[in-house]
Amino acid sequence: MSRRWTRPELAARIDHTLLDAAATNHEILLACEIARRNHCATVCLNSNRIAMASEALQGSDIGIAAVVGFPFGASHVDAKAHEAALAIADGATEIDMVIDIGRLKDGQLGPVRADIASVVAAAAFHTVKVILECSRLTDDEKRTGCALAVEAGAAFIKTSTGYLGHGATLHDVALIRAAVGPTLGIKASGGIV
């Protein structure tokens, strides 16, 4: 049975996101203010903007999510871990990392698991969301990616970056839920199609 969500209940589950590489300081500060005014769960930004957001949101209850390895997931494993650690040091409260899509498609499960685990470790007990990029994966690859994220200690699976194909689909959300069970979070991202 469905229920009606109030505006505050819904806003508290939304990450207000600004990941445009050309976003100006003014636009970043505006995104922080929009997240604060609407009581969003977080503002989600590129990692180089986290210190600014941390200062702007000081004293608020708005979380700050930093993307890592964004948007392609093809960064060196050490670079992703370092980027996550720097973002946490700058004030990020959670990390959204892009899975190594090519290695997952190649079936290189050990390196993909290690990639996720390195970011989880670098995040130092902060929430890590693993972005699968569902539009680029088969259903079996999505299930495998979910299993690797669970094994590596991630807290959420995220459907997409919004940059490499379609956004979230009901099919993908249901598939992810079946793959990870009831305890891991799911972030439907990139627009619902």
Token readout for 161 is 């970056």
Residue 69 belongs to some domain of the structure? yes
Question: What secondary structure does DSSP assign to 9-47, as a single string?
Answer: HHHTT-EEEE--TT--HHHHHHHHHHHHHHT-SEEEEEG
> DSSP E strands: which ranges in the chain?
15-18, 42-46, 63-68, 94-98, 127-131, 156-158, 185-187
The enclosing H or E element of 173 equals helix 170-180
Residue 94 belongs to some domain of the structure? yes
Residue 193 belongs to some domain of the structure? no
Burial 7-30 (b: 16+ CB within 10 A, else e): eeeebeeebbbbbeeeeeeeebbe
Residue 61 belongs to some domain of the structure? yes
pLDDT per position as a tens digit, 94-131 = 999 999 999 999 999 999 999 999 999 999 999 999 99
The CATH number that applies at residue 62 is: 3.20.20.70
CA 68-74-77 angle, 5° bins: 65
Asked about 142 being catalytic, the answer comes back as no
Beta bridge partners of 185: 156
Q: Mean pLDDT for the chain?
A: 95
Residue 149 belongs to some domain of the structure? yes
Give the C-alpha distances (Å, rounded to integers) separating 106 from 20, 99, 101, 153: 29, 13, 9, 22
Residue 2 belongs to some domain of the structure? no
pLDDT per position as a tens digit, 37-88 = 999 999 999 999 999 999 999 999 999 999 999 999 999 999 999 999 999 9
Structural domains of the chain, count: 1
Let me know: does 68 contact 45? Beta carbons within 8 Å: no
CA 166-170-171 angle, 5° bins: 90
Q: Which residue among 80, 129, 142, 158 is the active-site one?
A: 158
Give the Cα separation of 73 and 66 in Å (integer).
Answer: 14
Which residue range forms the structural domain that includes residue 134? 7-187
Interval 6-17 mean pLDDT = 92
Residue 171 belongs to some domain of the structure? yes
Check pLDDT > 80 for residue 191. Answer: no
Residue 1 belongs to some domain of the structure? no
Q: Which residue among 96, 100, 115, 172 is the active-site one?
A: 96
State the pTM of this model: 0.94
Asked about 80 being catalytic, the answer comes back as no
Asked about 105 being catalytic, the answer comes back as no
